[in-house]
A and B are shown apart, each in its own frame.
Chain A
Amino acid sequence: MDIFLQQLINGLVLGSIYALVALGYTMVYGILGLINFAHGDIVMIGALTSIATAQALVAAGVPPPLALAIAALVAIAVCTVLGVTIERVAYRPLRRAPRLAPLITAIGVSVLLQYSAALIWGKQYISMPELFQQSAFTVGGARVSDLQLFILALACALMLGLLWFIRSSRIGRAMRATEQHADVAGLMGVDTNRIISFTFLLGSAIGAVAGVMVVIYYGLGHYFMGFMLGIKAFTAAVLGGIGNVAGAMLGGLLLGIVESLASGYIGDLTGGVIGSNYRDIFAFLVLVLVLVLRPSGLLGYRGGDRA
């Protein structure tokens, strides 16, 4: 039972990170109908930027909590600039082009980001400096660290904040209008180009926070880390119903839990035949199953032209 609870908690933390990344996919898909392939790599850039900044700051003698805060802010700044620039340069000119065209540029941008990162930070793992002493306590036999609680709390706060923002703010309303019909929204006085830029900005900023969470949670970053993270987050977005913000959150949490439980138990269930080295397959299996069986996802509307 304690193992189950432990895996559940681990999965919840992992899932909240997936959910934050998934938001970036789902918001862009909702508005542009485009899978922003490069989003995972934007998260990666955020993660590696924060590591590099934190390393420099700690070396300069800045107190750790302040160093972490500054590193996160730098990562957010870099990612938002990057996200908005990518949209302007690589996606906007192709907005009226056939569907395959922006998808192929997105793949190109993804590869560019990966190898630019390899160029800047090298191809080896780089590690986050130890910023603070982690303490842990036990709940019902499961070990929970304060870092896990912090990540979970921050992720939940961000998600609730975003939900409120989209539902209640002026820009949020403009985003929803653009999502429903960009041309009509334009006629109603919404500057759709600015809204689309803003969506990329928001998605990238949240992605940057997720990237920082990954590196403080695992302590490591790598130029290729965005690929798997991106795929899983996209799976989460599809699972929840792509284009649906609440769905992305739900999908992320569910996927994290499924992955954590599955890789924790599969060894026992199959008598050690299939081990946790198949961990990464679960995300793909979930993705394929959802797309084949229920392409509109858990919270997406049915019968739409989404898949």
Chain B
Amino acid sequence: MSPGLLRERLTKLAGERWLLYLAIGAALLVLPFVVDAAFGRAWVRIIDVALLFILLALGLNIVVGFAGLLDLGYIAFFAVGAYAYALLASPQFAIHWPFILLLPVGALIAAVFGILLGAPTLRLRGDYLAIVTLGFGEIIRILLNNLNRPVNITNGPLGITLIDPIQIGGFALNKTFSIGGLTFSAVHNYYFVFLACALVSILISLRLEDSRIGRAWIAIREDELAAGAMGINTRNVKLLAFAMGATFGGVSGGLFAAFQGFISPESFTLLDSIMVLCMVVLGGMGNVGGVVLGAVLLTALPEALRYAAPLQERWLNAVYVEPADLRMLLFGLALVLMMLLRPAGLWPSRTRRRELAEPLDDERNGQETTLGTAR
């Protein structure tokens, strides 16, 4: 193929790509209004939550998917971000910092926590790391629950209420207004802010994956010893993974606090950590698209399961399984079945699929690689 022809094809391809992006962009812009009209405002809210979970799952994906460090206390960073925002923008201490300031501050606090919690675990291998991070997650939750005495910081199990909504340029996002017949309610406003954050995080994740750091993470995931021998500073790179993952979690937590206006330690249990892990595993560890898919699917699942109660009533004359429990049963089942049947996830990354298609000859019995694909 001549160079000219190649260039022509490439530009054509790039042109088509732009068209595709434009179409997706337009669809995302009108999505909340279409959903609002078709299914009601509650579903716009669900989409908002899904966007938050995309942010959260992408953060965990950096830690688990890229760097192969199984973090079972990831929700702690979400909690730290949420409480950082809540304490600095609520009547709790009568502090009301603006959102523009809180976003980087919250991210920074979460990143520091990521390093603090990551540092002691650096020497630990996969399964120990999982248990210790789980322990940290629980410690954070117990602290949040009990730091209402002797000095009331977190208000204990009651949680923090009346958290300020996000304000951008003097405009509070929880206000309703309309432009040219289109009504922008709170959920619509938050949709656009969350969408922007989710898109930025997707972009960061995609760029990270192919970057020098991303390749270092993947190298550590596959074989830490070899990665170290290749000159990767495994300590710093692992800490960076923790910090980066925590930052995503912290930002997402801050947005969550502002969106809900109320937080309590109940929102940050081990089950929530497992749910986020489930999103990453189900979608496809290490693949950004897969993780986004997983987050959307698992946010929509409980809503869909709400229809399960009436169905049971109709067919069995009683509600045997509460939708919330059914959700957890399905999560557990999904984790087991995914690992047994489709360890690379619903939407595996291209490299993974190739690895699975042609197993390498020098593949050892898999003891040393940490991620669930190479068999």
A residues lining the B interface (CB < 8 Å): 34-35, 90, 93-94, 96-105, 107-116, 118-119, 227, 231, 234, 238, 272-273, 275, 277-278, 280-281, 284-285, 287-288, 291-292, 295, 307
Q: Is the CB of B127 within 8 A of A116?
A: no
A25 and B269 CA atoms in complex are apart in Å by 23
Q: Is the CB of A100 within 8 A of B142?
A: no
Residues of chain B within 8 A (CB-CB) of A281 are 139, 142-143
Chain B interface bracket (under 10, 10 to 19, 20 to 34, 35 or more)? 35 or more
Q: Is the CB of A100 within 8 A of B370?
A: yes
Interface membership of B343, Cβ < 8 A: yes
Q: Is the CB of A35 within 8 A of B127?
A: yes
13 contacts between A and B (CB under 8 A): A101-B343, A104-B70, A104-B338, A104-B339, A105-B336, A108-B335, A108-B339, A109-B336, A114-B332, A119-B320, A277-B146, A278-B142, A292-B120
Residues of chain B within 8 A (CB-CB) of A119 are 320-321, 325, 329
16 further A-B pairs in the complex, CB-CB below 8 A; given A93-B340, A101-B372, A103-B70: A35-B130, A97-B372, A98-B372, A99-B126, A105-B335, A107-B277, A109-B336, A111-B271, A118-B325, A119-B325, A231-B135, A277-B146, A291-B121, A292-B123, A295-B124, A307-B125
Q: Is the CB of B131 within 8 A of A94?
A: no
Residues of chain B within 8 A (CB-CB) of A34 are 127
Known: A97-B366, A103-B70, A108-B333. A291 touches B128 (CB 8 A): yes
Q: Is the CB of A111 within 8 A of B328?
A: yes
Q: Is the CB of B328 within 8 A of A99?
A: no
Main secondary structure of the interface of A (DSSP, over half): helix
Main secondary structure of the interface of B (DSSP, over half): helix
Binary interface encoding of chain B residues 345-375 relative to chain A, with 1 for a CB under 8 A from any of its CBs, else 0? 0000000000000000000011101111111
- The smallest C-beta distance from B372 to any residue of chain A, in angstroms, reads 4
- The smallest C-beta distance from B319 to any residue of chain A, in angstroms, reads 12
Residues of chain B within 8 A (CB-CB) of A93 are 340
- The smallest C-beta distance from A276 to any residue of chain B, in angstroms, reads 11
Q: Is the CB of B132 within 8 A of A103?
A: no
Residues of chain A within 8 A (CB-CB) of B325 are 115, 118-119
A211 and B270 CA atoms in complex are apart in Å by 22
Residue of A100, A238, A272 ringed by the most chain B CB atoms within 10 A: A100
